[in-house]
């Protein structure tokens, strides 16, 4: 797991630790010192901690004019024990929404497990972004990880989308593709 880095091909366009509106503004990272772990496995030092013991993230792009951000996740999403959705919403989502972001793209291909609890924070977050014509999507969550997510019907709050070729898009084009798809789904 220590070799899995956050997606870095857009760093010439956006760096969260240099963005004054980012909850991670001013953070410094080591390329050589591995200190964060998911269970007993070290993870790459570029991942950001937000209060969860098992789930880390990286804001890989944010656009305040178009009101969207792209966030990559790694680890185990555990609402049953750690209440990760509460931490994700309160520590990251709420802070970004204060800056006007209402459209969230979470890339979850490195989320290895998902354990659900109730849907309270999912519903709250979805209602808050919907008031601003926003949405929340999860890209490329592995099929095995989706089972508990789907059983709890959380896809009504965070839309699951498979787009394995997302890296071939520039951030704006990825956003437009998803925004168009979400617009069509919301009209149904």
pLDDT digits (tens, 9 = 90+) for 138-188: 999 999 999 999 999 999 999 999 999 999 999 999 999 999 999 876 555
Question: Using CA of residue 2, residue 137, residue 166, residue 15, what is the dihedral sign?
Answer: negative
Structure tokens at 160: 């699951």
What is the average per-residue pLDDT within 107-111? 97
Task: Report the pLDDT value the prediction gives residue 175, as an integer from 0 to 100.
Answer: 98
* pLDDT beyond 90 at 29: no
Q: Which of 34, 33, 52, 51 is closest to 43 using CA atoms?
A: 34
Task: Report the pLDDT value the prediction gives residue 187, as an integer from 0 to 100.
Answer: 58
Task: Report the pLDDT value the prediction gives residue 186, as an integer from 0 to 100.
Answer: 57
pLDDT digits (tens, 9 = 90+) for 52-83: 999 999 999 999 999 999 999 999 999 999 89
Task: Report the pLDDT value the prediction gives residue 98, as an integer from 0 to 100.
Answer: 97
Structure tokens at 2: 């220590």
Q: What is the mean pLDDT of the chain?
A: 93
pTM more than 0.85: yes
């Amino acid at each position: 797991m220590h070799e899995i880095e956050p997606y870095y091909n857009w760093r010439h366009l956006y760096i969260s630790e240099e963005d004054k509106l980012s909850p991670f503004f001013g953070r410094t990272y080591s390329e050589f010192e591995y200190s964060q772990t998911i269970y007993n496995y070290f993870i790459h030092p570029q991942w950001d901690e937000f209060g969860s013991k098992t789930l880390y993230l990286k804001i890989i792009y944010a656009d305040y004019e178009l009101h969207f951000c792209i966030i990559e996740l790694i680890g185990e999403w555990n609402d049953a024990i750690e209440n990760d959705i509460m931490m994700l919403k309160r520590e990251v989502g709420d802070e970004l929404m204060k800056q006007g972001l209402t459209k969230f793209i979470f890339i979850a291909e490195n989320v290895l497990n998902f354990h659900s609890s109730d849907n309270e924070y999912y519903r709250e977050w979805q209602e808050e972004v919907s008031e601003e014509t926003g949405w929340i999507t999860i890209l490329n969550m592995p099929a095995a990880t989706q089972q508990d997510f789907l059983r709890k019907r959380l896809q009504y709050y965070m839309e699951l989308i498979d787009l394995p070729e997302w890296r071939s898009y520039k951030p704006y084009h990825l956003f437009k593709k998803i925004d168009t798809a979400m617009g069509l789904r919301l009209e149904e």
